[in-house]
Amino acid sequence: MTITDLSIYSLTNKLKNKEITAREVIESYAKNIYEKEKNIKAFISLDIKKALKKAEKLDKMDEKNGFLFGVPVAIKDNMNVQNCETTAGSQILKGYISPYNATVVKKLKEENAIIIGKTNMDEFAMGSSNENSSFFPTHNPVNYDYVPGGSSGGSAASVKSEEALAALGSDTGGSVREPAAFCGIVGLKPTYGLVSRYSLTNKLKNKEITAREVIESYAKNIYEKEKNIKA
């Protein structure tokens, strides 16, 4: 079993027990990105150097705290990450560098997750196939001739291809659940209001429109099947 085969639960346990290092984790996922990304195109932007720096910082910590300690996470590109570009899949926003983190990103960082990049999406989340990004289409890792679904197709594809262990997406009418189904992974839609939407790029400007975007999370296996986790 390789590092990228590990579940979130197993990975964080191994990191906290010092069986592997956070740097080794990022290097393993970076290898997959370099080998697969040219065919999948799950990411609009990547920052492996910054991810490695974060990993090295975590490795030096005496107390290895955080539910997501060392977990490589991808962020849908309609959510702000401080000092990173946010485009919402549109050339209109190309070059916009966010001065702050979305609440969900802030919380991920508080749990010592490692952000590796921003994922491709249908422009302004208006689409369900990820063919409508103004940068390039994303391909389904199961079959490159197929679409990964949308609008969070880049997030789903990044997890399925083991370019990230988990990823954030957004869902108004299936934009997380559909890509998860298309790519054969888990897509979780939490209860409305449970997760903050602060700093999520809003495509619904008309005040009469009441539909809301809700932050989601993708994960391959939070707990291994053979583990009995007590609530």
Is 175 catalytic? The answer is yes
SS3 labels along 196-221: CCCCECCCCCCCCCCCCCEEEEEECC
Q: CA 200 to CA 50: how far, in whole Å? A: 23
For helices 8-16 and 22-40, give the axis angle rounded to 10 degrees.
150
> Exactly one of 155, 175, 199, 217 is catalytic; which is it?
175
> Exactly one of 41, 76, 109, 189 is catalytic; which is it?
76
Q: CA 67 to CA 9: how far, in whole Å? A: 9
Is 76 catalytic? The answer is yes
> Exactly one of 151, 152, 155, 161 is catalytic; which is it?
151
CB distance 7 to 222 below 8 Å? yes
**Catalytic residue positions?**
76, 151, 175
